[in-house]
Structure 1
Amino acid sequence: MPGTANRSGLPAAGAICPKTRPNKAGRGPLEEERLYSLKEARALLPATVRRLEQIAKLRGQMRAWGSAAEGMAPAEGDAPGLDELLASMNARLRELSDDGILVRDLRSGIIDFPGRDADGPLCWCFRLGEPDILYWHRPDEGFAGRKPVAEDC
């Protein structure tokens, strides 16, 4: 969002700090949804960034494999190495899912950490390359509806 960040890359003054509730509310009867406070999401961010970077690397390897395999005849056998790449990618995605992290766009590295405040569900939004979790939005607003998190949040 133009004009919302200061020189440190953090959102400017006047940003919003939704007050999150403890990690209890919002669980449906069919699934246990993990809810994060901003502090909890930020604590998990370094491991999450490593996984997103691994996924990006695997995606690059898969693209390279696909380019190299274009000239292969179907009779030349299975895709050597592709199964391992797919298994590694699926493992990283499963780790994110097991942590309750919502992958929104693999290409851009956009993820959400579900949370809740007094007004209802929210998402702590992160995009690979950002220095921290700097934005949040309501689930129905998506990435386009991101609002800056207050610096003192």
Structure 2
Amino acid sequence: MRYFGVDEANRVVPLLTRTFEKVRPWVSRAQELSKELEALKGQGKRDAFTETLQEQHARLLEQIRTELHPLQEMGIEVKTADGLVDFHALLGGRTVYLCWRYGETAVGHWHELDTGFAGRQRIEDPEAFTPTYLS
């Protein structure tokens, strides 16, 4: 497992910002299509138009997966496709997450593995997070 120091995670923020600027419109459109398809399903519709929407939805999901895959290959956990990621980090010898959300200019929060976004805490001392050999 890869562990990030705060400085190392912050060096990735420009890439994260660019990636999610690209992906967020696709995510919005995929959500819209999903709602349309659900409504059509509720009406019992199954026609060429519905199939076209399903194909568009599937293509968007594949585009999103393809764009986010390199982040995952770097050891970054993508929590939501519209821009929430976690980085494994070591704090006091235990594994925690450094947390970044789209729109933030830096990684400024962390949380325990089991608390999620709701348990975010401000990073008071970036040096407390053990950097990896890459930092």
Compute the TM-score of the two structures, normalised by the length of structure 2: 0.71
Secondary structure at 2:47 match in 1: helix
Deviation at 1:101, TM superposition (A): 1.1
Matched residues, number: 120
Q: Distance in 1 between matches of 2:88 and 2:35?
A: 37
Please state if 1:44 is matched with 2:12. Answer: yes
Q: Distance in 2 between matches of 1:146 and 1:67?
A: 31
| Equivalence for 2:77 | 102
Secondary structure at 1:74 match in 2: coil
Q: Distance in 1 between matches of 2:123 and 2:65?
A: 31
Compute the TM-score of the two structures, normalised by the length of structure 1: 0.64
Unaligned runs of 5+ in 2: 128-135
Please give the residue correspondences for 1:1-150 in structure 2 after superposition, counting only pairs within 5 Å. Answer: 33-66=1-34, 73-76=45-48, 78-79=51-52, 80-107=55-82, 109-150=83-124
| Equivalence for 1:19 | none
Distance 1:148 1:68, change over 3 A: closer
Q: Distance in 1 between matches of 2:47 and 2:14?
A: 44
Q: Distance in 2 between matches of 1:101 and 1:91?
A: 15
Distance 1:106 1:90, change over 3 A: closer
Q: Distance in 2 between matches of 1:66 and 1:138?
A: 32
Q: Distance in 1 between matches of 2:117 and 2:29?
A: 27
Distance 1:40 1:152, change over 3 A: closer
Deviation at 1:68, TM superposition (A): 6.4
| Equivalence for 1:5 | none
Q: Distance in 2 between matches of 1:151 and 1:120?
A: 16
Deviation at 1:143, TM superposition (A): 1.9
Identity of aligned residues (%): 24
Deviation at 1:112, TM superposition (A): 0.6
Deviation at 1:64, TM superposition (A): 4.0
Unaligned runs of 5+ in 1: 1-32
CA RMSD of aligned residues (A): 2.6
Flag the structure with higher strand content.
Answer: 2
Q: Does the Cα contact within 8 Å between 2:13 and 2:105 map onto a contact in 1?
A: no
